Structure formats: C-alpha cells, structure tokens
Structure 1
C-alpha cells in the first residue's frame, strides 16, 4: 500500500488522510468533514487553515459529491492493493430528526440514540444544541427529582449534557428560570442505589461544574445549601472518576467567592478532605485546585483551625512549593502566611521548622519567582525570627541575612 500513489486532491489538508466525506468551505478549500468541523467547532478556530481567510463558525460546508464519488471509485479500483473502500457518508443530522427523538423521551432508546449522536461528531452537537436538547435533558433530570425516582435514561441525559456545550446566555436563563436544577443534580449525587453509581455521580458533578462556571453573578452561588457541599464532598470520599474529582474541586473553587459558602464548606469538613486528596495526588491541576480552595478556606478562623488539626497539612503545603507551578507557589505561601500570622502558636511554628517550611521559604528567596512572593516569604521569616533564629539549622548570622530587607 505504501507504493500506491494517492491523488493529491483526495487528501485532506488537515488530517493528510484520504477524505471520506469531502466538503468545501466558503474559502473554496475542500476538507474532510470531520477534520474541518473539529477545526471550527472543537478547536474554535475562525480562519481557514489553508488560505488563512476568515471562516465563521456558522458558515456552510458544502458537500463535494463529485469528489466523493471519484474517491470511492478509486478506492474500489485499488481495493485488491489494500485500499479500504469508503462508504457513502450518512446524511447530516437535521433538527426534525432530533425533535422527533425529543418527543419520545419516555422511550429509553430515544435517549440512547441522542447520546450516540452527541458523541459522534461536532456537527451533531451543534444540531442538538439548536434543537433545544440541553434544556430537554435538564427538564428530564428535574422530572426524575420531582418523582423521587431514578428514571431509566437518567445516565444518558447527564452524559448528553457533558457532550453538548451550553452557551453562556442559555445557561444563565436555564438557571434563572428553574430553581430546581441545582437541587435535582444535588439529589442525583445523594443516590447510592443507582446502576453505574460512580459514572452517574461523575456525570452529575461535571454538569454542575459546567452550569456554575457560566454564572456571571453571585445570584446562583448565594442560594446554595449546606447539603449541596456535603453531597459533593461525600462523592470525593467514596469514589468518583478523576474527571469527577477535578469537576468537584472546580465547583468548590467557584463557590468560594461567596463568604457563606466558605463557612459551609469548612463545616462540611472540606479542609480535611482537601489535605487527604493532596497527600496522595500527583496531578498538577488537582494540586492547583486544592491549594486555591485552601487559600480561600484559610481566610476564615475556623478554616485555619481545621487546617492545623490535620497532622499533614503544613507538611504537604510546604512540599508543593517550587515543585508544581507558580500558581501553587502563590497559594501555598499565602496559606502558610495566614496560618503563621493568625495561628502562630509555638506548636505551629515549631512544626513549620520541623517539616521544612522555614527552609523552603529561605530557598524561595533565592529562586526565580515573583518579587511579591519573595516579599511575603521574607515577611513570614521576619515576623517569627525570634522563634526560628535559635534553631541549629540556621546560624544567627545566616538567618539574619534571609530576613534583612
């Protein structure tokens, strides 16, 4: 097959493979449909990859039937040489087909079909969005909640909401018009008798993240209830996918912008759970999220008290400095600063010395990092120099050099 010369105009400029469904963009360039839709919709590019001319997301892609027939004929002629025959592509999904499926949501097969369509390609996702599928799926979930039963098809409805991107404006309207959406998703998180429990709860928390991340105001966040945080915390403790863990942490972080939410999170036991997660974590994004949340929770007295109650808290935060990212360095130093400033008992300060916090802050002063961060580290060292300067790890003259402005 390597010796067969494929006509150049059969090759997609993006994938560099033989085109299965050639379409021509408004710029006059022909691509394989899957590749150019990925380029436009998934990657959010607005220029033609070949001509570099503007290529709006709502521009038409015209099927090139003549070229497709030529490619199919050529593949058939060369099938004996190992060339795979290319079938005629299915007609694009249209809104009428989707609306027909939406009318029959009580039929589990309709939801399964919608899920398959959503997973198939970007063109289908766009069509599902235009037909109002996200709102229909949300109402299906709300209806399950109102009935108090796990309806067949709930997993598919949650899965579809992950695939189909809900525009910010529509998301805001959905949340504004229906107070039951968050309650319904929280209810899903509380159900332990479902099939595929881990997958279902992961889907639910990912949908929660998508909805909450698109809230421009605190209106939605201000009406969250204690059980909302308790149930998300519960799934972190008892099993969820890695994607679900990340989504749950993003929900917590977004909710931290409201003071009452931070108090509820602390009371639910989130500080302890974050430290437990971080003690066994190796993922950069998870560390950035946990440290960012800890920063917010340690801004209140109860949060700092809970932080110090965990034997590994100071050690794990210290260990992450200069090892993960600049964002983690920032949050870690400020967490330690708040703890040292407001909870700087002799026990806490001695622990910072024992687990290497003081040493790490000294190293930070000589590292390639932002000046404000070095100033904050120097401030911590200076404020507690009377306790730390007598340590055998730091000769008086050496320690004095670190805290000197």
Structure 2
C-alpha cells in the first residue's frame, strides 16, 4: 500500500504486481520454469547467491532461464500511468516504477550519442541497460546494429572511463553480439585510442563488484573466438592469474567460479595454454572445488561439471596427470571418484574419462589406481556400466574395472549388499 502525502490517501498496490522477494512493485517481471513471477533484479540476486530453488515454492530449478512476463509488465505500466501524480515516489522524487524505453526512444538516444552529444552518456547507457534486460526482442534489436552501436560500446571500453566501461561491458554481455565481430573489434590494437580493450576488462575483473566481474569474464570468453584470439587473451599479463585466483573456493562466489571455469575451458584448447594452466597450479584449485564442503558450491551442478571438464582437458598432458595424482596420496583422484553418479550424467562422463585416462591409457602412477580402489570406485563403475551414460563411457568403465584387477565376484558382492549408497541425480 502506497501513501500520497498531498491528499493523505493510500493507494493499494495489487498483490500480483509485487515481487515475492522484495515486496516492491516489479519493474521487469520475469517467470521461472516453476511459473512463479519475480522482479528480474531480485531473482537474479537470489540465483547469484548460489541458490537453485524457486523462493516461493522451494522447487528445484531445472533451468535458470527467465521468460519476460510482458502481459504483467503492461498491466503494471497501465496501472502506474493511471495513478498519475498520486503514484508513490522514491526519496529523490522519481517514480518508483521505471518504464522500459521503447525502440523509438532508444533510437533517439543513440542518435544523440552518435552526434557527439555525450554530456548525458551515462543516462543514455542506463536507459539502454534497462532496455536490453527487458526482452530477447530488445537484445536482438541492438545486437543487430553491428555497424554503429557495437563499435561505439567498444570505444567506450577502450576509453578506460571505468563507470561507463562497466555499463558498456554489461550491455555487451547481455546482448551477446556476433563473437567474431566483437573479438576483432575488442582485440584490435588501436594505438590512437590506447591499444585494445583487454586492460580495461582486466581492471574490471580486479576492481569491479561481483556482477561486473562475472560480466567481464563472460565478455572475455566471448571474444576468445578462434585459436589466435584465445592465445592472445590467455597470454596477456594478468589474465590467467586473475582467473585462477577467482576460482578459489575460499574467496569467490559460485557464479564467478562458473564463469571463470567456462572461460578457462574455452582457452584450454591450446596446448600452450594447457601447459600454462598446469604450471599455475590450476589443478590444485579444481581439487579444492571437488573436495569442498561449502554447501552453495558443492551443490552447484554446473560448477562441478565444468571443474571436471577442465580437469579432463588438463589430464591430456603428462604434467597434468602427474599433478592430478600429486604428492597428497591421490586426493584429487578421490574427489573425481566421489562425483561419480552424484551430480549429473555429464559430470559422471567427465569423471570416468579422467579415471580412464589415468588408470587405463597411461598408467604412469599407481597412486591413481590405489585412490580409485580406496574410494570404492569399482562399485561405482559397476553402476556406471548399467547407467544411461553413453556407450563409449560405459566401455571406459569396463576397461577400468579390468585394469583395477578386482575380482568381479567380490565387487558384485559389495554392490549387492548395498554397502555403497549412491545419491540419485
């Protein structure tokens, strides 16, 4: 209920206009897969906090995708306009509900921006941020402007004016323009404008807030388009250092860890980069993720899947396999075995591939086999053979069981007595 100070009357806000989390009137209503509608900013904060449930129903979410509730948004707009001056306002006198700009208004704002009327550039970028967050249609509308709008955003980032650069990064992360075009623009070394955009992106990762860091990492991932760009980004001073620091379980948020892992997976396709990642002790950080007891991180399916995928990639090199087996009695291998059948089919397939590489293909260190046996890995591999994993992964599991030299009768006996309790996906 809102109060009008001039008339001493109260305005009742319809309950379905309020976000179930903030209890404020929604500015950008979006619906989850459970059908419940929230204000976009509120539900994004909830998910960024590592939660994987619908706040209203506590149902597990199959996807974190949003669907803009345009009908409800129009109703809120009609309602707020009908109140006119009686609508409750914020402390600064501005309306509590910020209307999403129309495409015509955005076009006018861009004309002002491109005609060098840049005194109000921050206001224009704020309006664009509100516009692109509202719908896929709006994002596609601006992503299609390859000849003017995208280069303008890149120039703003290159200018190193941090507040404006962060907004430009946010817009690029939201609209997801063509990767090749964006990579060419951002990595072009324009000496007149201070070089490429990587120094600003790196500064945003170091000094920005959590959301800015995540957006900056995702933009880095997007511009790592081909072999040349991946190597150029990976070998820039400070990039790998910041990424590895950001996947520390003691310092980072799960959403940031996930974004950094995605980026590291993207650039690790280069053998040279894989060697750099191994030398920088990335595997130690992955081991910490796999062995963590932090609830928000250990329950993150995506973080676990990406950790195992990156570890699988690094296990392709001899020094990577040596680091996985390690001098700590194979704890990293134990972490891999512990994720078998407990997270998802994808995670299980990555885990089996890692073990197959260590224990069947190369067999360079007996500590790997000992760690698998010690972690009751054979029993779990027997279950993998009967699971819905791919045929190739099931064959890998069979190869592993043969190599581990465990009598099938004793292994099956352990399985049949149900001494191992395996959580469902």
Instruction: State the TM-score bracket (shorter-chain normalisation).
Output: 0.5 to 0.7
- The answer on 1:139 being equivalent to 2:158 is no
For the structure 1 residues 105 and 259, does the alpha-carbon distance in structure 2 shift closer, same or farther, using more than 3 Å as the test?
A: farther
1:246 Cα offset (Å): 1.9
Report the Cα offset of residue 380 of structure 1: 1.8
Number of residue pairs matched by the alignment:
308
2:219 match: secondary structure? helix
- RMSD value, Cα: 3.8
Distance 1:90 1:206, change over 3 A: closer
3-state DSSP of counterpart to 1:152 = helix
Which one of 108, 112, 126 corresponds to residue 100 of structure 1? 112
**Cross-structure match for 2:171:** 160
Tell me, in whole angstroms, the C-alpha distance in 2 between the residues paired with 1:394 and 1:105: 77
Displacement after TM superposition at 1:336 (Å): 0.7
C-alpha deviation, 1:218, in angstroms: 1.4
State the partner residue of 2:322.
305
| Structure 1 range deviating more: 369-378 or 236-245 | 236-245
User: What are the equivalent positions in structure 2 for 1:146-295 lying under 5 Å apart?
Assistant: 151-175=162-186, 177-178=188-189, 181=196, 183-185=198-200, 187-188=202-203, 191=206, 194=207, 196-212=208-224, 215=225, 217-223=226-232, 224-225=234-235, 227=237, 228-237=239-248, 239-280=251-292, 281-295=298-312
Instruction: Find the residue that maps to 1:184 and give its secondary structure.
Output: helix
Is residue 2:135 matched to residue 1:116?
A: no
Aligned equivalents of 1:258, 1:108: Cα separation in 2: 39
Deviation at 1:90, TM superposition (A): 6.3
Q: 1:269 to 1:187 in 2, by over 3 A?
A: same
Q: State yes or no: 1:330 paired with 2:349.
A: yes
Q: Give the TM-score normalised by the residue count of structure 2.
A: 0.62
**Contact persistence 1:95–1:127 (CA under 8 A):** no
Q: Which has the higher contact order (CA 8 A, sep 6+)?
A: 2
> Displacement, 1:264?
0.9
How far apart in 2 are the matches of 1:287 and 1:170?
A: 32
Higher-Rg member (1/2): 1
Instruction: Give unmatched runs, 5+ long, in structure 2.
Output: 1-15, 17-28, 31-73, 83-97, 293-297, 415-425
Distance 2:245 2:205 in 1: 9
Pair 1:338–1:287, CA change in 2 (3 A): same
CA contact (8 A) 1:186 1:231 kept: no
TM-score (norm 1): 0.64
Deviation, structure 1 residue 166: 0.7
Structure 1: gaps spanning 5 or more residues: 1-16, 18-33, 36-67, 77-86, 145-149, 400-405
> 2:358, 2:135 → 1: CA distance?
50
